[in-house]
Structure 1
Amino acid sequence: MARVVLGVLAAGAVALFAVTRAWASATVRTPGLPTDQVSVTGVDAAPVLAGLAVVVVAGALGVVAAGGWFRQLIGLLIAAVAGFAALRALTLNAGGSPLGRALKESPAYLGGAQPQVTGAPWPFIAALAFALAGVLAIVVAVRGGRWSRMSTRYERSPELVEADADDVDLWRAQDRGQDPTL
């Protein structure tokens, strides 16, 4: 259980890191103006990717707290979110219109020839991290119902509390050295 949950957590963290890196960049050179380096991150191109990475990380933590069928449901939700995010990261063209908008905001860009666009491996790393989180989440969905739950050691058992005990009885129990909440 721990390895799978830590794997989902790590994959979500790597995906979150990857979507905040520059996915495409270009150097704008215009005669008579200073050179400007323009870059677009995954968040600039598709802000939803950062939110989906946070959902994957939060879902991994939810798997630890949940149990039974609810844990399996969380696993299915993580798998669906991660699958969508991986597909979005692979199909997103950060060097297209997102970089075009960033170029238009550059003080060195006067609308002439398009500068050479340089891509980065971060979209593929993000997609791979999301895909790994999705595969591990499917493992949670299939096997998570049989994993152990969080401890109930400190939870109060309702049958041990007297239903008709009033405040005075509770104080008297404490005076005798008994914990009336157990």
Structure 2
Amino acid sequence: MEQHDWPYYIFVGACFALAIVIRVRRIGKTQRLRLGTLWIIPTVFMLFAAAVFVTSPPSASGWLWIGLGLAAGSAIGWQRGRLVEIGLDPQSGRLNQRSSPAALIFIGMLIGVRWILHYIVELSDARWHLGAMLVSGIFIAFAAGVLTAYRIEIYLRGRRLLQGR
């Protein structure tokens, strides 16, 4: 790490700490769940991912790596969605969600694994010849899978609760 890298790492660390503080304050608090808005964030991120892949499309073997990243992200997003408590308010008939402490631990582990994988890929890039854009594409596909599968799982569970009342 160079001397000029410190501001970057301080900024990233501060953003990470702020995100953790916000998440910790929300643990155990019930929030309204709006099924109709769950599609917005995955759609915006998918448009971002599509723009990245259109401007610099990967090779045929690169698409395989990106597909693996998407599949891994989808599996993790689905698991993360399962950790969210969803309930139906009997008085108002509205859906509520509550994040569990396990979800925060899961997110922390996910961030740690991402940093480790990023470091490993950087070390082995010379041997695997992945390239910076492909590595970024893999992580973008991974994030798209997490965001999309998480919200699909929440939507399906919420819809089942509404149909069963």
- TM category (shorter chain) comes to 0.3 to 0.5
TM-score, normalised by the number of residues in structure 2: 0.34
Which structure: larger Rg?
1
**1 or 2, which has the higher helix percentage?**
2
Greater relative CO, 1 or 2 (CA 8 Å, sep 6+)? 2
